[in-house]
Structure 1
């Protein structure tokens, strides 16, 4: 079970930028753990009075890699912190719940729209993923804390911390319904519009300073 010391170390972990995470050699370890996303600019009208703040950055989201092992006996995920964090910074909304959330909240501000793409009809922001990555390069920072069973610490954090951008197991959060509605509306509109040709680019095609 997580201890108060685990929480303290998680909250005190070094905070890094997109440029640092995407640089070589890799900064993030290939281990299991819990990560946290800290924001310089808020992605929406969110009450952060009870959120953790460090160096003018607000903790809004916690995630883990890998997920808890399936209870049906199937093989457990072998994903690591490195792969998951890099996917959030450079993938697309079809592969990153965080990018989907941020894109839905920032759609009007960034001029992007969730759509269906390609034969698989995956939902993402197309070329707008680059705009989202630029915003994240300027405003979204990440910390992480290695731990062998990250799902246990994540559950504890959701019970003890104010994490407005988490949806799963977080329906008591005041921002939960607003975020759920925003995502549902974006998905419904995307499914009502024609499927587009996949542009073949994701959120990776921006430079370290966030400028293409």
Structure 2
């Protein structure tokens, strides 16, 4: 596809709980929408992209809210939205049990932006360290009100 490379795989809904609790009501549509318009607190993909693009986009991870427990890019989320609109592409495969496809895909394809189930990946250690550095920096800064 014109030089495009698959960088990340995610699924929706997640595997139903083994304890009989209610299954996730999340849909593929809601998950993709959140990745593109949500925030880093609720999207590991946004967190990863923001960390990797922080210097280029002039954004940084920050603690927000009344308790400061949520980490987002604050006003930088809009900048990340714009970058994703211009550069990110999405494709999908529908499957009634997507959790059965996730592990074989992550194990069989080099997906540098996936961390979970991807310790074997070539970029895993570097990405983990970059995310940890951004979290550490965010925790050293004052909490933003929103």
> TM-score category by the smaller chain?
over 0.9
1:171-207 CA distance string (max 9 Å, x none): 0001000000000110111111110111xxxxxxxxx
Q: Are positions 1:159 and 2:119 aligned together? A: no
* Deviation, structure 1 residue 99: 0.3
Q: Which of 124, 135, 144 is the aligned partner of 1:176?
A: 124
Aligned counterpart, 1:191:
139
Larger fraction in strand: 1
SS, match of residue 63 in structure 2: strand
Q: Are positions 1:64 and 2:16 aligned together? A: no
Aligned counterpart, 1:113:
60
Larger fraction in helix: 2
TM-score (norm 1): 0.67
* Deviation, structure 1 residue 118: 1.1
Aligned counterpart, 2:50:
103
Q: Which runs of 5+ in 1 are unaligned?
A: 1-53, 199-212
Aligned counterpart, 1:125:
73
Aligned counterpart, 1:36:
none
* Deviation, structure 1 residue 143: 0.4
- Flag the structure with larger Rg: 1
SS, match of residue 145 in structure 1: coil
Q: Which runs of 5+ in 2 are unaligned?
A: none
CA–CA distance in structure 1, aligned partners of residues 81 and 33 of structure 2: 11
Counterparts in 2 of 1:160 and 1:124: CA distance versus 1, 3 Å: same
SS, match of residue 188 in structure 1: helix
Q: Are positions 1:148 and 2:118 aligned together? A: no
CA–CA distance in structure 2, aligned partners of residues 120 and 69 of structure 1: 31
Deviating above 6 A after TM superposition, structure 1's stretches of 4 or more consecutive aligned residues are: none
Residues 9-158 of structure 1 mapped to structure 2, 5 A cutoff: 54-121=1-68, 122-158=70-106
